[in-house]
Chain A
Amino acid sequence: MTFRKYLVLAGVTLCASIGDSLLSHGMKQVGNISLSHWTDVILAVLNPSVALGILLLLGFFASYMTALSWADLTYVLPATSLGYVLLTLIAKFFLHEQVTTSRWIGVLLISAGVGFVTQGPALTHPPAKAQPREAAYEPASSRDKG
């Protein structure tokens, strides 16, 4: 794991949680959309928060795909679940919402899970059909087993 790869994982986490917060914030400004006026949902992208939220979710997808190109699914998913923790902290310190004890326990459980998975290797199996010229970039751990 290089610094660059940790940056990609941070990108997955930050884009997902901030993007979701912005979408939620923007859609509350837009207000209820009734089924009879469902086309209003297209106009919702004109709201700056919604537009920025969509942009961040595109960034989330790009960094998620990048992470999956060199790490296991069972590594990427728990490692990036720190976003839930971040959302709780945003709710507490920026939105001044009340965070209950059971939520704080949830935050602790997720943090512990992230700690466990990031101590291990990121890739545990040889890539399916990687072309030879990419083989040089595989982490040493996967070459040993292949």
Chain B
Amino acid sequence: MKQAYTWSAIAVIVLASTTGDVLLSHAMKQVGDVGALWRQSGLWTVLRRVLRNPTFLLGILAMTMAFYSLLFGLSWGDVSLIAPAAASLTFVTNAIAARIFLHEQVDHRRWLAALLVAGGVVLLAA
């Protein structure tokens, strides 16, 4: 039963942080190249445009949810299982979500990169 709790916590963390990453990435593409915008109109314009972006704020909300579900998960299960499992799975779910929602071209090279990094993260925690 405890394992079911742990894995559902991992699922919630992965779902929330993937949602957060996709929303934040989408928001920053709406804002545009931060470096160029900064040189052109100053830091204040950059900050205002980022902080007024509703997608950015939703992304922060999702990231906050991911953080708190990590805290909950850690109170039920082992840090050595939850942290690497969530980090590793997030690389894979992000590749899927970025392809569907952000229309990124996830080619063989990027799939391979996501899987290699996900595998590497698991081994680092082993």
Task: Give the B-binding residues of A (Cβ under 8 A).
Answer: 4-5, 8, 65-66, 68-70, 72-78, 81, 84, 88, 100, 102-103, 105-110, 112-114, 116-117, 119-120, 124-125, 127-131, 133-134, 137-138
**Chain B hits for A109, CB < 8 A:** 116-117, 119-120, 123
CB-based contact B121/A84 at 8 Å: yes
CB-based contact B24/A134 at 8 Å: no
**Chain A min CB distance to B124 (Å):** 4
Instruction: Please name the residue on chain B nearest to A103 by beta carbon.
Output: B124
**Chain A min CB distance to B100 (Å):** 12
**Chain A min CB distance to B121 (Å):** 6
**Chain A hits for B104, CB < 8 A:** 72-74, 124-125
Q: How many residues of B contact A (CB 8 A)?
A: 43
> Among the listed A74, A100, A130, which residue makes an inter-chain contact with B29, where contact means beta carbons less than 8 Å apart?
A130
Binary contact track B90-126/A, C-beta < 8 Å → 1, others 0: 0100110011001111110110111111011111101
> Among the listed B110, B122, B123, which residue makes an inter-chain contact with A75, where contact means beta carbons less than 8 Å apart?
B110
Interface of B (DSSP majority class): helix
> Among the listed B30, B34, B121, which residue makes an inter-chain contact with A81, where contact means beta carbons less than 8 Å apart?
B121
CB-based contact B21/A73 at 8 Å: yes
**Chain B min CB distance to A11 (Å):** 12
**Given A74-B110, A75-B110: A69 touches B34 (CB 8 Å cut-off):** yes
CB-based contact A102/B123 at 8 Å: yes
CB-based contact B102/A72 at 8 Å: yes
Q: Does B31 contact A (CB under 8 A)?
A: yes
**Given A74-B114, A116-B116: A69 touches B29 (CB 8 Å cut-off):** yes
**Chain B min CB distance to A113 (Å):** 3
